[in-house]
Structure 1
């Protein structure tokens, strides 16, 4: 089995310790997926106090959102690998540089990273649902050292590896919105919003060495490393001088990963090169101010091209820069989707594409086009109240402001402003 390996200590003591450690490690790294993975594991406290689908909410929650986990998948993945042949005269401790096999980067949604509290909360819920300690902030396995120091006691063909459990899946968004309670009555409840996305994270990296003849559990990190040895190949069975041994599977996997990365870069470049087409807007006849409830400041479009939408006093200008129309309006499950067209400058509210992945990116206006950065979900209070919350369709973030002050920029917040400053009033003019 694995008793011929240890990393330090005396042989007799190390042999016993390693046998126990190997058994516990093998049990721990057996991969699981879906809700069954949580069986027997305590749920971390991050789930306490979080809203659930159907819970009641208040108008202060209209500008906020919370994640919930829809699907999970856990797969053992090798991140660094090297096939290594140990001869009779080359046993003992060696430090070996492995090759990067797979890079796993933590991400939530479209941003390719974890920005703001929504992503952190989502990954925390993933760990809670699976009973695993996963990375909840942005990190990448490519930043991990590729060197492995190992003590070889027997000659043979080894696979030196670092690996982890890659955790992927999808999430949904809980948003506060009016709900028909029947009998002509309405209430505010946490409902499933239209915003969904995917996430990727991973558990703590493990490292080790495995031989073709070792018996290891199926679907484990160690088994994944053993598969890369290509044990039936001539490279695995032939006698070699001490040092690296080429692995056909490892080379092929590396080439496939490189080709996939190039294809992804090419696709992104093609998408980035596409200009946003101009679109004819079908706008509702009424115009609105988007006010801070009970206070005199409201959204006003920028006077300068590179400026953002700011809180300003009512009627601070006669150019209708504080008047908005709802255009290309649709409604699904009680959630309005619309473009916000400014009467004063003729532009549509948007998050600038070059900063759309940033927490607290500012809201501005641009030429109207068929672009999800210019589309907003509008969550409404019960009939009779004009309070609303606004969410950008592309980024999923809620609109809000950092402080109540004249000239303050409207920005996006991944989870919204939990103090209620993301709730506005849609006031007809």
Structure 2
């Protein structure tokens, strides 16, 4: 599946390298960078944007080697370093960057901090670990590659109706369900530093110098030119490094509970069609088990495949959460588990069960309008379609469809 991909006025925590207030917390917003409480339109009901809650920037050494340069061995040398730490870019702690929402999250982080950060999945482990350096003086050097590691947390902004102080209603960007953490890094730099060198505090070079154990007797002893064994400090730091990839379940993507037990659905009495506004096509459940939910025109022969009930409904801060039960085939709308991590994974139906893949958030227009946006609880992605055509699959888009094709109407039948 194709993978494609801003920021609000937020409280930002920056530790490690200093960041100027102007870079850390911009207040200006545009149509592409809404802030909580900004006005949105019905076309935004099927979209979402990230906003950054906290950030931390700290120097990290990815490759390192202690290296002695004696009198007569100065000049250019190529030093093969050892991996000290591995940083992998991820959003949502799933070890990768999937979809436009993740890319947009990292792009927002870079813009906020004034840093050029990685916005696609990559890892420092793929970088070359050979450093060529011109050693001008004899001494004990730390030869290194390093970067600024950028981590933090984000939330999701969704468009939904909110009641004003005077009792009227308006569409606003609100903090929707779903949050998580991210990791990225800046451009790698390489160099060499001696114990005698004065370096800026909290810099990558200072981090490398800290690995030298400059006060140890081994540093003051005579040594032949070339590599030295890792010091106790280097070994300790290496053993304490974070893994290349993070296992576990994203905070944005709560663990699915499976389908071993059927849920006793408590469905609302009414049935609905989920229509494209002002047009005849609407969501229709599949007849075949391996097919997906598609846009179809409602006819006498639809056999209720285009009729949906809202089941096990809850409401939190004006956002509905429900299972979508199909009257025609008796299944519940779901994203197939084996493709749930993919951008543009299709929506289908399955035996109803206790499974967050079958739960959906519904964002509503102001009272009097039936327009809605639909978001899967497990993946966080918004539902939409690529083009308006009979038979077109309903798919998930991590940021929604920015052209408004993710906004539908909930029409009672």
**Where on the TM-score scale, by shorter chain, does this alignment land: which range?**
0.7 to 0.9
Query: Which of 101, 104, 112 matches 1:129?
Result: 112
**What's the RMSD between the two structures over aligned residues?**
2.8
Structure 2 unmatched ranges of 5 or more: 1-12
Greater shift in the superposed pair: 64-73 or 246-255: 246-255
Contact 1:46/1:124, CA 8 A, preserved across alignment? no
For residue 311 of structure 1, report the CA deviation from its aligned partner. 0.9
Distance 1:315 1:110 in 2: 45
Once the two structures are superposed, residues 90-131 of structure 1 have per-residue CA deviations (whole angstroms, 9 ceiling, x without a partner) of: 222111111222222222225433333322222222122212
Give the equivalent residue in structure 2 for 1:154: 137
Structure 1 unmatched ranges of 5 or more: 1-30
Once the two structures are superposed, residues 182-215 of structure 1 have per-residue CA deviations (whole angstroms, 9 ceiling, x without a partner) of: 3432111111112222111111111111122322
Give the equivalent residue in structure 2 for 1:77: 60
Query: Which of 75, 86, 101 matches 1:103?
Result: 86
SS at match of 2:164: strand
Distance 1:280 1:32 in 2: 47
Distance 1:184 1:417 in 2: 31
Contact 2:17/2:202, CA 8 A, preserved across alignment? no
SS at match of 1:89: coil
Give the equivalent residue in structure 2 for 1:27: none
Give the equivalent residue in structure 1 for 2:15: 33
Q: Is the counterpart of residue 168 in structure 1 residue 151 in structure 2?
A: yes
Relative to 1, partners in 2 of residues 1:218 and 1:188: Cα closer, same or farther, differing over 3 Å? same
SS at match of 1:88: coil
Distance 1:341 1:66 in 2: 28
SS at match of 2:115: coil
Distance 2:30 2:189 in 1: 30
Give the equivalent residue in structure 1 for 2:384: 400
Give the equivalent residue in structure 1 for 2:317: 333
Query: Which of 352, 357, 380 matches 2:336?
Result: 352
TM-score, scaled relative to structure 1: 0.84
For residue 333 of structure 1, report the CA deviation from its aligned partner. 0.7
Distance 1:399 1:273 in 2: 19
Contact 1:235/1:246, CA 8 A, preserved across alignment? no
Give the equivalent residue in structure 1 for 2:349: 365
Give the equivalent residue in structure 2 for 1:141: 124
SS at match of 2:177: strand
Greater shift in the superposed pair: 106-115 or 188-197: 106-115
Relative to 1, partners in 2 of residues 1:45 and 1:362: Cα closer, same or farther, differing over 3 Å? farther
Greater shift in the superposed pair: 217-226 or 111-120: 111-120
Distance 1:273 1:423 in 2: 26
Query: Which of 366, 372, 378 matches 2:362?
Result: 378
Structure with higher helix content = 1
Where do 1:87-98 residues align within 5 Å? 87-98=70-81
Once the two structures are superposed, residues 344-376 of structure 1 have per-residue CA deviations (whole angstroms, 9 ceiling, x without a partner) of: 223222222222222111112223333222221
Contact 1:38/1:129, CA 8 A, preserved across alignment? no
Contact 1:72/1:169, CA 8 A, preserved across alignment? yes
Relative to 1, partners in 2 of residues 1:238 and 1:355: Cα closer, same or farther, differing over 3 Å? farther
Relative to 1, partners in 2 of residues 1:134 and 1:280: Cα closer, same or farther, differing over 3 Å? same
Greater shift in the superposed pair: 411-420 or 245-254: 245-254
Give the equivalent residue in structure 2 for 1:242: 225
Where do 1:255-294 residues align within 5 Å? 255-257=239-241, 260=243, 265=247, 275-278=258-261, 279-294=263-278
Relative to 1, partners in 2 of residues 1:216 and 1:110: Cα closer, same or farther, differing over 3 Å? closer
Distance 2:410 2:22 in 1: 49
Once the two structures are superposed, residues 351-402 of structure 1 have per-residue CA deviations (whole angstroms, 9 ceiling, x without a partner) of: 2222222211111222333322222111001111111001112221111000
SS at match of 1:215: coil
For residue 304 of structure 1, report the CA deviation from its aligned partner. 2.0
Relative to 1, partners in 2 of residues 1:32 and 1:62: Cα closer, same or farther, differing over 3 Å? closer
Once the two structures are superposed, residues 41-65 of structure 1 have per-residue CA deviations (whole angstroms, 9 ceiling, x without a partner) of: 5999995432222221111111011
Structure 1 runs, 4 residues or longer, greater than 6 Å off: 42-46, 271-274
